[in-house]
Structure 1
């Protein structure tokens, strides 16, 4: 697996962008944290320095002359390393006593460098927080070096740097692994599509039950591949069935034409033979027209689906016509609908009429004398349910899926009238209207239920 492909993967790129954003946030947060720590420690140390200055100054007021110099000298000797600063300066900035060699400028609480007597090159800083104020005619300076502040800032900086590095490394590692996993899934998809393009309609993308976008896309692609496989199989079966259906009338038409030619040669009337030829050609024309109609329905655009059609009224008119045909065949057809319900749908009236005609014609054609056909129309939530139930021979369970394939017929000998496109047209029209068709047993007989979305649902 190419590492470059992994690093350019969407998962790693997303994590990398997140890592860059994290670094920016960490830098801003670290700067703000260090600034807050510096401000807080300087304020705390400043309070401590001012309290020390007040203690030393108050001792001068309570004790005899010379006590202040002695106290400062004692403090200077006992505090080594330059951490503490204390000194007394005369008005002319001359050092009287203490460990600060040069009087700092200004007065009050300040932060800055001091010329400490114990300073060394190894000192972490020469910055102090100090307080300078007058004592009689002199100036008393008391300060604390900012070692604690700088040590704290270094520790915080190291902690932020180390934690940021570990988090960043973890993020990039996770991104790399996710990108590698995604790339593997994409390779599986690419392989499956390549094999499909080469003609292998059985290949599918391995599913691992994941919930990522790629996993969802893989499942959708498998559904499309399954549908494509069915379409290819249906196309092959359709071609074979069409050839079979066309072979017989074409052969009979050829024989009838030959018979007509013999009649002409014999000086006899060829009208009967020509009539047989015309009948066979008409059969082929019906087959072609039905298949072309199916193709037009499947390719119809959405502009034809904008009419508001009252399916109950349309069905009632057709049932009235087919009831007479059924009566001639010794059968009974009735129509039932839910009173007071709206059975209108948005679609194409011509297609819907063809769907209803096919279902009613199938029920009469495949029924025998005494067959009872019940046509129902009802509402169920946002759907219109159109049902045709008969007491005919029904459809075996194993064939309930295949009967929707073009040219598929239950009669293998294809001796009964029909071209096997009736239910195929019904399903195509229902799916074109965002509906579906279901078959069920009527014990005996068949129930065909078409579910369509109601107008405004």
Structure 2
């Protein structure tokens, strides 16, 4: 931004606005000081004139000439010129220069020019009339007072101009500083728009309003970069994971085209093809399911749910599969009371079913799978524990991503989306998936914090619903 465009910046306008407000307040203050100081000096001169006037009125008429001549001897610089004039206006006594001036009012102080003195200085005077027609005038030369007023006004104006210059300079500096910061932010934004998602907006250590906004935007950019990495990872994973089944599908069709002679051979080739296509369709359905859950559309249909009832339903569904592998599948609960929360029962069932299915899949023959309902002061939920190969600590976060297959599951059927779906359901319900540290096997917890308002608001409703269903 050029300096000629500085006046368009918000910071410069705010600074000039505050300068204008300060200038207006300063003008009022300076005006008040000027009026009060000059008024005080004038009032002092008027008080002195009134005292002299009162003494003059009390004197005898025959002593006026002597009084005025005596005062003139003690006033060689004519700072307080007195004058006594006859009825015709001719000078009789005193040091007042010239003839009698025009008197606007008697017995009241007034201002006039002392003609006859050097530079015709201003004066503050009071006049008295006597029965014989004579007029006495007493004045105070206010040249020094006027000079003081001029100097005071000059000082106030100089201070105002200096304040204005300093204020405009400060506004310009503030505006330039803000423009530089905005230019740096704009340059960073242009880099981000150009595709450099690792770029972040610059921050200072002042922790001002712009820094708070930049911190929020940088957090948003971190989330966008994470999502973009996930999108890229999902695209790469889809291409990688679907390449193998597509290759097998095409290879099977080509073999059937070259070798199949009988209906049974064609039927076997078609069955293999349908199985491969069905697996790919299930993968895409799982991806669409995760996207639907992450969008939060189903959150509007939340209702009171007993998590214990959902866990028991999932357990009943997989009891036959556990029996086929000779696996002990048991349910434990720390309390016979319901585990109430707001949620979508079908999604919660789907998440728990995925976790139980994984536990049965990786548990060894004659192994054990324990589904435990827990509740304590901090949270409540369901844990699923098996005695299979487990998940290493470094893989615990990665297995929640889409298509990730751990070292222990490389040769196990699946598409790597079960934990991703369970994690999406958990996030939708304000829950989290945690991996407990166990000596052998794996323990996955689906936990909901106690401070969640859902658990507090619907506990009674879910409890009554569970009692009614029982």
* TM bracket (short chain): 0.7 to 0.9
Q: CA deviation at 1:379?
A: 6.8
Q: CA deviation at 1:238?
A: 1.0
Q: Where in structure 1 do 4 or more consecutive aligned residues deviate above 6 Å?
A: none
Unmatched 5+ stretches in structure 1: none
Which whole-Å CA distance do the structure 2 matches of 1:349 and 1:88 have between them? 115
Q: CA deviation at 1:357?
A: 4.2
Which whole-Å CA distance do the structure 2 matches of 1:15 and 1:209 have between them? 22
User: Is contact 1:334–1:374 with CA below 8 Å preserved after alignment?
Assistant: yes
Partner residue, 2:289: 293
Partner residue, 2:368: 370
Residues 130-176 of structure 1: CA deviation (Å, up to 9, x unaligned): 33334554443323244454344334433333333343333333333
Which whole-Å CA distance do the structure 1 matches of 2:351 and 2:135 have between them? 109
1:198 to 194, 198, 217: 194
Q: CA deviation at 1:102?
A: 0.9
User: Is contact 1:391–1:442 with CA below 8 Å preserved after alignment?
Assistant: no
Report the RMSD for the aligned CA atoms in angstroms.
3.4
Partner residue, 1:14: 14
Residues 47-66 of structure 1: CA deviation (Å, up to 9, x unaligned): 122122223444x24xxx54
User: Is contact 2:355–2:384 with CA below 8 Å preserved after alignment?
Assistant: no
Which whole-Å CA distance do the structure 2 matches of 1:234 and 1:136 have between them? 113
Which whole-Å CA distance do the structure 2 matches of 1:49 and 1:85 have between them? 12
User: Is contact 1:11–1:176 with CA below 8 Å preserved after alignment?
Assistant: no
1:129 aligns with 2:133: no
Q: 1:160 to 1:205 in 2, by over 3 A?
A: same
Q: CA deviation at 1:214?
A: 2.1
Residues 377-431 of structure 1: CA deviation (Å, up to 9, x unaligned): 5675xxx654535355543333333333222222487432332233433444454
User: Is contact 2:253–2:273 with CA below 8 Å preserved after alignment?
Assistant: yes
Which whole-Å CA distance do the structure 1 matches of 2:159 and 2:353 have between them? 75
TM-score calculated relative to the size of structure 2 = 0.80
Q: 1:337 to 1:421 in 2, by over 3 A?
A: farther
1:309 to 303, 311, 317: 303
Q: 1:87 to 1:351 in 2, by over 3 A?
A: farther
Partner residue, 2:460: none
Q: 1:344 to 1:199 in 2, by over 3 A?
A: same
Which whole-Å CA distance do the structure 2 matches of 1:337 and 1:216 have between them? 46
1:232 to 222, 228, 232: 228
Partner residue, 1:34: 34
Which whole-Å CA distance do the structure 2 matches of 1:367 and 1:148 have between them? 109
Alignment map for 1:76-95 (pairs within 5 Å): 76-79=72-75, 83-91=79-87, 93-95=89-91
Q: 1:244 to 1:330 in 2, by over 3 A?
A: farther
2:445 to 436, 439, 448: 448
User: Is contact 1:88–1:141 with CA below 8 Å preserved after alignment?
Assistant: yes
Q: 1:423 to 1:74 in 2, by over 3 A?
A: farther
Q: CA deviation at 1:44?
A: 2.8
SS of 2:205's partner is coil
SS of 1:84's partner is coil
Partner residue, 2:465: none
Unmatched 5+ stretches in structure 2: 458-470
SS of 1:331's partner is strand
Q: CA deviation at 1:89?
A: 3.8
SS of 1:390's partner is strand
Partner residue, 1:109: 108
Q: CA deviation at 1:320?
A: 0.8
Q: CA deviation at 1:439?
A: 2.9
Residues 300-343 of structure 1: CA deviation (Å, up to 9, x unaligned): 45xx53445324x1x222211222326533233334469588x4
TM-score calculated relative to the size of structure 1 = 0.82
1:174 aligns with 2:170: yes
Q: CA deviation at 1:204?
A: 2.5
Which whole-Å CA distance do the structure 2 matches of 1:130 and 1:337 have between them? 105
Partner residue, 2:137: 141
Residues 106-125 of structure 1: CA deviation (Å, up to 9, x unaligned): 1233332244431515x4xx
Q: 1:231 to 1:115 in 2, by over 3 A?
A: same
Which whole-Å CA distance do the structure 2 matches of 1:322 and 1:350 have between them? 11
Which whole-Å CA distance do the structure 2 matches of 1:201 and 1:103 have between them? 89
Partner residue, 2:55: 55
Residues 61-112 of structure 1: CA deviation (Å, up to 9, x unaligned): 4xxx543222223334543555424223445555433316314121233332
Q: 1:44 to 1:409 in 2, by over 3 A?
A: farther
